[in-house]
Amino acid sequence: MKLRCRKDGPLVIELPYDIDGGLLATIQVTDHHREAFTVPTQKLAVALCRCGKSSNRPFCDGSHKISGFQAHETAS
């Protein structure tokens, strides 16, 4: 599994898959309200919202682009 923090954008989770294209891991995301969301198993990468404006929370819908979101934290 890889995590990428896009500059002023979402947190992208890349899930591992086997040689036949099947996923080797599933993850569950819990938001700040402790509501659980299961990541769709048919996707190899999922973008999680960091701006708080997504209408598809906790997943990114691109709202950060029009809201002018600027992340104050970075990942290294």
pLDDT tens figures, 13-53: 887 777 676 666 777 888 888 999 877 767 778 899 999 99
Tell me the average pLDDT across 1-6: 88
pLDDT at residue 27 in the model: 77
Q: Cis peptide before 58, with omega less than 30 degrees from 0? A: yes
Query: Do 46 and 10 meet the contact criterion of CB atoms below 8 Å apart?
Result: no
Query: What global pTM score does this model have?
Result: 0.76
Q: Is the model's pLDDT at 5 over the cut of 70?
A: yes
Which H or E run includes 66? helix 63-67
Burial of 53 per CB tally in 10 Å (0-12, 13-18, 19+):
middle
Structural domain includes residue 47: yes
Domain that holds residue 12: 1-67
Give me the number of domains the chain comprises. Answer: 1
Structural domain includes residue 76: no
Cα–Cα distance for residue pair 7/5, rounded to 1 Å: 6
Structural domain includes residue 30: yes
Structural domain includes residue 25: yes
